C-alpha cells in the first residue's frame, strides 16, 4: 500500500523545507547506446539514468546523446534530442561543439565499448580532445595483456578522462597493471541490480505454467559467446536424476548478430534440443522481456546457469540480475563471477565443461541447504550493487568532478506501507524477518506493537485513510493483551500468543514506557478516531497509571513523559500535569548531577535512544512552561547534535560501543548504527522545530533522514523502496539486509516527519466518529 503524498519530483523539493536553500541542478550529458536499441549497455544506461533521477530528483539533469551507426539507426523518445552517428565524422565535431557551447552541461559521462568505435578510434580520441568539460569514461570491457595498438588506444582515451569507471576489482587491477593507469583515477562502481520483493516461487511457477518443475534458466541476447550448448549437452545427465527439470532459454538473438548472421546460432540450439530429445525439458522464450516479467522468471528459477565462454568478459548484467533475484548460481570463471561467488555464494565450473555442469547441478538440486545458502549469501554480496547504490556512487563521483562542489539533495521516497502490513497478523506485528519474509518463529513484542501503533496514527493524521484504523486497533489490542493483573506490561509473546520466560529475565521498564507513549499518542487523536479506540486506550492507561511512579529508568521516564504530554494536550487534567512535572523533575536532577562544561547530559554515558531525553524535556516545557525544562532541553540537545553530526551527515552512537564521559565521542565507521536511533533523532528535531521555530533543526533533519537514503559511511541505502522495509542496521563494512519491525517502523515514523502536511487535528475522519455520549 503506497500513499500518494510527496511523490512527484516537484514535491520532493517541497519536502526539503528550507526556503532559503537554492538547489543547483547539475546537467550531465551521457553518451551511450540507448533504447530502443537492444543491447546490454543501452539497458544499463537507461537503468542508471532512472536511478540517478529517482534518487536525487532535481540535483541532476541527465541528457542522453544516443550512439548510432549506419547499421543502427532508431526512433527515440521525444526527450532524446542528441544522437551521434559514429560512421559520420561530422557528428563528432557537432556533438563536441554542442557540449562546449552549452553552459548548462557540467560533465560528460561516456559509456565505452570497443565495438562502438571499432572503425573510428582516431575520430573518437580526437573528439575527446575537443571537449572542454570534465569527462568520466566507463570501460565496460577491459582486456588483459593488450597489444601495443590496444595499449596506445586505451591510454589515449584514459588520458582525456578526469575519472575512469570500471565494474569489477579485476578490471581495476588490469587497467593499473597492464595499461599503467593511476589507481587514483580508477573508480569501481559495480553493475547495478534491481531491488526485488522476492515473491512466492510456487505462485510464480503456477503463473508461468511451470508448477512442479525444477527450473534452470539463463537469459540475455543470444549469441555464440553465451555457450548455451554447454547446458544443453549437460541436460541428459541431469534429467536422468531429475525428470522434472525445465531449462528456460530467455532472450532473443542479439540484433547485430541477426543482421550479420541471421538466426544460425538459435537454429543450432534448436537442432541440438531435437537431437538430444530435450523437447519436454527446454523452453525457448524468444523475446526481449519487459523488466518486471524478466525479474519474475528469475525469481521462480531454482538454479541460474551462466556459461559464457569468454574468459575476458569483465562483467555481466544478466549474472548480476540473477543473483539479486535470489538465484543460486553456477557460472563459468569470468572475473565478475570469481569476485561475487567467493565465500559460498555460488559454484564455479570450467569453460565449456558440460560434464562438470551436470555434476554440479545434480548435487545442488539434492542439497536444499546449500541452495538456500548460495541464495542468501549471494543476496548479501550483491546488495551493495542495487541501482540506488550505483546512483549514489555516480553522484559522489559527479560531485568530485564538479568544481563548485554542489550539495546533493536526496529525493524523499513515496510512503510505502507494504512491508509493515506484510509483517502484521490479526494479533500484532511480528518481531523479525529473514530478508523481507516475516519470521513468525520470533514472535511478537510490546515494543514493536507500540511503535507500530504510533506509526499508523501518524499516517492516519496525514492521509485520513480509514484502512489505518484496523491496524491501529490491532496494535492497541496487543498492548491491552500485555497488561498484567499487577498493573504493568509484559513484552515478549511467542507465536502461540504465550508470554515467554524472557519477560522475567529482563528489565521491562523501557517497554512499559513505550506503551504509555503509544497510548498517549492515540489519546491525543480524540477528535480524529472512533471513540471506542480512545476509550480502550484510556482503560489500559488507567490500569497501569498508578504503577508508573515507581519507574526510574531514564529512557522509560522519557517515554512516559512524552505519552503524558500527548494526553495533556487533549485532557489537561491536574493529575496528568503533576505526573509530567514529577518525571521531568527526576530527569532534571539526573542532568544536574552529571552535566558539566563539556558534558551537558543526563548520564555519564550515551547509549541508545539519546534524543528521547531532550525531546521529553522540551515537551514538558510546553506542558508546564517551566523555563528550566526549556534551558536543559536546548542545552542537552545541542550537545548531542554537535557530536552526532559530522561532515554533513549523522553518525549515531554505535550499539557496539557506548560512549562514556571523557572518551572520544564518535569512532569513524565502527558500525552498529541502528535505524531506531536515527528515527528518534528525526522525531526530536521535528519537535524542537515545532516548539522553537529554529530552521537549523530542519536542515539537520534533512541530513539525518538522508542516512536512510545513503548519506552514511557506506554510501548505501538503509531503506528499501521496493519492499517498503528498512534494513536492520548499518555495520562497519555491510548493511544487515533483514527488515524487521523495529527498523521498518522507525523508518516510517521518520518518513512521516518529512511531510509538509500538518496533522489534521480538527479534521473529521471518513468514518463517522461517535460522540462520547452515544458510546
Look up residue 547 and give its three cell numbers. Answer: 504503577
Check residue 284 and report its DSSP letter. Answer: E
Q: DSSP assignment of 279-290, as one string? A: TTTEEEE-S---
pLDDT at residue 648 in the model: 85
C-alpha R_g of the chain:
29
Q: Do residues 335 and 168 touch, judged by C-beta distance below 8 A? A: yes
* 3-state secondary structure (DSSP) of residue 205: helix
pLDDT at residue 3 in the model: 62
pLDDT digits (tens, 9 = 90+) for 732-766: 999 999 999 999 999 999 999 999 644 433 333 33
Q: How far apart are CA 673 and CA 666, in angstroms?
A: 11
pLDDT at residue 621 in the model: 98
132 DSSP β-pair partners = none
Confidence at 402, pLDDT banded by 50, 70, 90? confident
Look up residue 165 and give its three cell numbers. Answer: 569507471
pLDDT digits (tens, 9 = 90+) for 423-450: 999 999 999 999 999 999 999 999 999 9
Whole-model pTM?
A: 0.92
Residue 28 phi, psi dihedral angles, 5° rounding: -115, 125
pLDDT digits (tens, 9 = 90+) for 66-91: 999 998 899 999 989 999 999 999 99
Crossing angle for the helix pair 317-324 and 40-56, to the nearest 10 degrees: 50
pLDDT digits (tens, 9 = 90+) for 680-696: 999 999 999 999 999 99
Judge whether residue 482 has pLDDT over 70.
yes
Nearest CA to 730 out of 742, 744, 746, 713 is that of 713
Q: Do residues 393 and 338 touch, judged by C-beta distance below 8 A? A: no
pLDDT digits (tens, 9 = 90+) for 534-590: 999 999 999 999 999 999 999 999 999 999 999 999 889 999 999 999 999 999 999
Which positions ≥6 away from 674 have C-beta within 8 Å?
608, 652, 655, 728, 729, 730, 743, 746
pLDDT at residue 23 in the model: 59
Amino acid at each position: 500500500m503506497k500513499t500518494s503524498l510527496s511523490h512527484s519530483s516537484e514535491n520532493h523539493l517541497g519536502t526539503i523545507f528550507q526556503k532559503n536553500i537554492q538547489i543547483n541542478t547539475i546537467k550531465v550529458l551521457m553518451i551511450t547506446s540507448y533504447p530502443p536499441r537492444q543491447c546490454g549497455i543501452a539497458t544499463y544506461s537507461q537503468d542508471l539514468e532512472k536511478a540517478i533521477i529517482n534518487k536525487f530528483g532535481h540535483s541532476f539533469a541527465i541528457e542522453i546523446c544516443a550512439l548510432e551507426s549506419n547499421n543502427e539507426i532508431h526512433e527515440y523518445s521525444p526527450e532524446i534530442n542528441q544522437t551521434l552517428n559514429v560512421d559520420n565524422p561530422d557528428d563528432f565535431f557537432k556533438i563536441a561543439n554542442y557540449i562546449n557551447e552549452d553552459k548548462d552541461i557540467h560533465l560528460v559521462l561516456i559509456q565505452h565499448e570497443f565495438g562502438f568505435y571499432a572503425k573510428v578510434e582516431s575520430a573518437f580520441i580526437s573528439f575527446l580532445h575537443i571537449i572542454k568539460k570534465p569527462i568520466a569514461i566507463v570501460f565496460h570491457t577491459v582486456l588483459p595483456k593488450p597489444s601495443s595498438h590496444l595499449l596506445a588506444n586505451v591510454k589515449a582515451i584514459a588520458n582525456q578522462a578526469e575519472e575512469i569507471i570500471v565494474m569489477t576489482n579485476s578490471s581495476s587491477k588490469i587497467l593499473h597493471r597492464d595499461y599503467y593507469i593511476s589507481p587514483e583515477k580508477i573508480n569501481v562502481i559495480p553493475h547495478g541490480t534491481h531491488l526485488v520483493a522476492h515473491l512466492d516461487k510456487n505462485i510464480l511457477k503456477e503463473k508461468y505454467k511451470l508448477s512442479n518443475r525444477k527450473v534452470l534458466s539463463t537469459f540475455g541476447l543470444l549469441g555464440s559467446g553465451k555457450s548455451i550448448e554447454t547446458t544443453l549437452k549437460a541436460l541428459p545427465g541431469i534429467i536422468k536424476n531429475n525428470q522434472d527439470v525445465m531449462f528456460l532459454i530467455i532472450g532473443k538473438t542479439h540484433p547485430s548478430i541477426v543482421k550479420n548472421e541471421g538466426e544460425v546460432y538459435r537454429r543450432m540450439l534448436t537442432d541440438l534440443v531435437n537431437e538430444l530429445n530435450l523437447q519436454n525439458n527446454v523452453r525457448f522464450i524468444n523475446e526481449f522481456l519487459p523488466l518486471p516479467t524478466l525479474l519474475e522468471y528469475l525469481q521462480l528459477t531454482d538454479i541460474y546457469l551462466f556459461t559464457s565462454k569468454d574468459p575476458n568478459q569483465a562483467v555481466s548484467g544478466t549474472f548480476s540480475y540473477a543473483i539479486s533475484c535470489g538465484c543460486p548460481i553456477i557460472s563459468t570463471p569470468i572475473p565478475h563471477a570469481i569476485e561475487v561467488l567467493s565465500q559460498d555464494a555460488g559454484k564455479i565450473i570450467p569453460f565449456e565443461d558440460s560434464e562438470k555442469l551436470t555434476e554440479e547441478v545434480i548435487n545442488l538440486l539434492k542439497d536444499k541447504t546449500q541452495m538456500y545458502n548460495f541464495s542468501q549469501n549471494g543476496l548479501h554480496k550483491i546488495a551493495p550493487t542495487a541501482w540506488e547504490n550505483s546512483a549514489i556512487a555516480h553522484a559522489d563521483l559527479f560531485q568530485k568532478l564538479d568544481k563548485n562542489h554542489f550539495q546533493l539533495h536526496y529525493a524523499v521516497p513515496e510512503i510505502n506501507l507494504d512491508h509493515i502490513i506484510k509483517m502484521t497478523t490479526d494479533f500484532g506485528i511480528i518481531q523479525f524477518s529473514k530478508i523481507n519474509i516475516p519470521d513468525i518463529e520470533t514472535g511478537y513484542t510490546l515494543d514493536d506493537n507500540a511503535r507500530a501503533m504510533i506509526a499508523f496514527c501518524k499516517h492516519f493524521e496525514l492521509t485520513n485513510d480509514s484502512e489505518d484504523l484496523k491496524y491501529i486497533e490491532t496494535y492497541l489490542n496487543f498492548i491491552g493483551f500485555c497488561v498484567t493483573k499487577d498493573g504493568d506490561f509484559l513484552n515478549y509473546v511467542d507465536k502461540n500468543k504465550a508470554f515467554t520466560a524472557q519477560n522475567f529475565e529482563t528489565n521491562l521498564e523501557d517497554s512499559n514506557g513505550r506503551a504509555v507513549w503509544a497510548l498517549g499518542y492515540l489519546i491525543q487523536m480524540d477528535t480524529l478516531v472512533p471513540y471506542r479506540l480512545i476509550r480502550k486506550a484510556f482503560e489500559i492507561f488507567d490500569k497501569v497509571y498508578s504503577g508508573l511512579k515507581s519507574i526510574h529508568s531514564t529512557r522509560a521516564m522519557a517515554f512516559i513523559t512524552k505519552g503524558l504530554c500527548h494526553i495533556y494536550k487533549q485532557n489537561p487534567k491536574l493529575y496528568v500535569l503533576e505526573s509530567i512535572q514529577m518525571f521531568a523533575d527526576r530527569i532534571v536532577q539526573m542532568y544536574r548531577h552529571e552535566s558539566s562544561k563539556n558534558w551537558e547530559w543526563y548520564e555519564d554515558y550515551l547509549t541508545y535512544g539519546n534524543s528521547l531525553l531532550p525531546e521529553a524535556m522540551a515537551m514538558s516545557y510546553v506542558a508546564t512552561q517551566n523555563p528550566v525544562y526549556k534551558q536543559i532541553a536546548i542545552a542537552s540537545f545541542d550537545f548531542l547534535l554537535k557530536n552526532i553530526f559530522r561532515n554533513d551527515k549523522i553518525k549515531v552512537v554505535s550499539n557496539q560501543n557506548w560512549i562514556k564521559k571523557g572518551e572520544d565521542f564518535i569512532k569513524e565507521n565502527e558500525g552498529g548504527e541502528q535505524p531506531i536511533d536515527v528515527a528518534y533523532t528525526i522525531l526530536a528535531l521535528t519537535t524542537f522545530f515545532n516548539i522553537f521555530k529554529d530552521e537549523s533543526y530542519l536542515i539537520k533533519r534533512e541530513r539525518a533522514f538522508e542516512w536512510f537514503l545513503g548519506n552514511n559511511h557506506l554510501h548505501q541505502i538503509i531503506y528499501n523502496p521496493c519492499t517498503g522495509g528498512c534494513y536492520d542496521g548499518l555495520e562497519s563494512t555491510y548493511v544487515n539486509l533483514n527488515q524487521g519491525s523495529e527498523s521498518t517502523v522507525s523508518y516510517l515514523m521518520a518518513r512521516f516527519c518529512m511531510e509538509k502536511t500538518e496533522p489534521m487535528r480538527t479534521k473529521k475522519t471518513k468514518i463517522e466518529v461517535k460522540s462520547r455520549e452515544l458510546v
